[in-house]
Structure 1
């Protein structure tokens, strides 16, 4: 019976490609499930044989530790170089998105406060 190795929700494509290549290199049989049309399932990479799952899990743990260290180092280098994304760079690059997000937050806070105001508690 197949076992889920990696849920593909919020997984960048390069990471999924790395995992596929790692499993191919280790000669571990796997298959993928596609994401559902309605977004209920994001899809996943499954190890086909139960006997291979523990080895795949160890490989995955090693890969994720290496990737986390690499990405952390890249982010620290970007912060040192001043090229890391900040609120101000997002505001400069996507002002409409930032303004709409702030308006949505204010609207939601207002809707949450509305019952208190209507009940006379505000």
Structure 2
């Protein structure tokens, strides 16, 4: 029976590809399900055999620790050389998007707080 190893929600293509390569390298049979068109399911990487799950989880723990270190080092390098994404950089690139998101956040906060303001007054 199949066992879910990795839910692909918020997982990049590079990471899911690396996980597939890791499983192939360790001769663990797996398959991938794709996200649903309506966003109900985000897909996943599944193991074909339940017996492989403990070994695959151990491999995933090692992989994720190594990936975390790699991604942090890459981020620190981009901060050092000035290529990291910043709020001011995003605002310069996409000012209307940033303003729209900020207005949306203010509107959402206002809708949440409105009942308390009305009940108090």
**Which 4+ stretches in 1 moved above 2 angstroms?**
112-119
| Corresponding position of 1:107 | 107
Matches within 5 A, 1:7-46: 7-46=7-46
Listed one character per residue, the Cα deviations across residues 11-68 of structure 1 (whole Å, up to 9, x for unaligned) are 0100001011111111110111221222121010011111111111111111111110
Give the stretch that moved more between structures: 55-64 or 4-13: 55-64
State the SS of the aligned residue for 1:45: strand
TM-score for the superposition, normalised by structure 1: 0.91
Matches within 5 A, 1:31-110: 31-110=31-110
Whole-angstrom distance in 2 between the partners of 1:4 and 1:40: 16
TM-score for the superposition, normalised by structure 2: 0.92
- The number of aligned residues is 121
State the SS of the aligned residue for 1:31: strand
| Contiguous gaps of at least 5 residues in structure 2 | none
